[in-house]
Amino acid sequence: GAGVSQSPSNKVTEKGKDVELRCDPISGHTALYWYRQSLGQGLEFLIYFQGNSAPDKSGLPSDRFSAERTGGSVSTLTIQRTQQEDSAVYLCASSLGPSGSIAGELFFGEGSRLTVL
């Protein structure tokens, strides 16, 4: 498709289980971001990938969170041993590189809503 695709759109899991969230960015976009949005809150930065550079992991809240981006395209966010406070909408976004016409507008997916019981 033309936009950023995320799956699953909804995920309900039990506390302590691992979950994987997938993001398929817009073709040709070299930058990929993960943000988290808790109910009624703003966007919390998690991690950023840019091309072949080392990712900026400074927003990951704990070592239970990890993300990878394979082949410079699809990304997977993994949350191990989920906790109830991990419940949120996880938003993925992609962007052209610095040569983009307006310095990197982010295009967002529709998010993956995670509920940890």
Partner 1 sequence: AQKITQTQPGMFVQEKEAVTLDCTYDTSDPSYGLFWYKQPSSGEMIFLIYQGSYDQQNATEGRYSLNFQKARKSANLVISASQLGDSAMYFCAMRPLRSTLGRLYFGRGTQLTVWP
Shortest Å distance, C-beta 11 to partner 1: 15
For 87, list phi and psi in degrees, rounded to 5: -60, 125
Q: Which of 32, 66, 62 is nearest to 49 (CA)?
A: 32
Amino acid of residue 88: A
Nearest CB to partner 1, comparing residues 20 and 110: 110
Can you give the binding site for partner 1, defined by CB under 8 A? Answer: 31, 33, 35, 41-43, 45, 48, 50, 53, 56, 59, 89, 91, 93, 95, 97-98, 102-108, 110-111
CA terminus-to-terminus distance, the chain: 32
Shortest Å distance, C-beta 83 to partner 1: 23
Amino acid of residue 2: A
Nearest CB to partner 1, comparing residues 20 and 107: 107
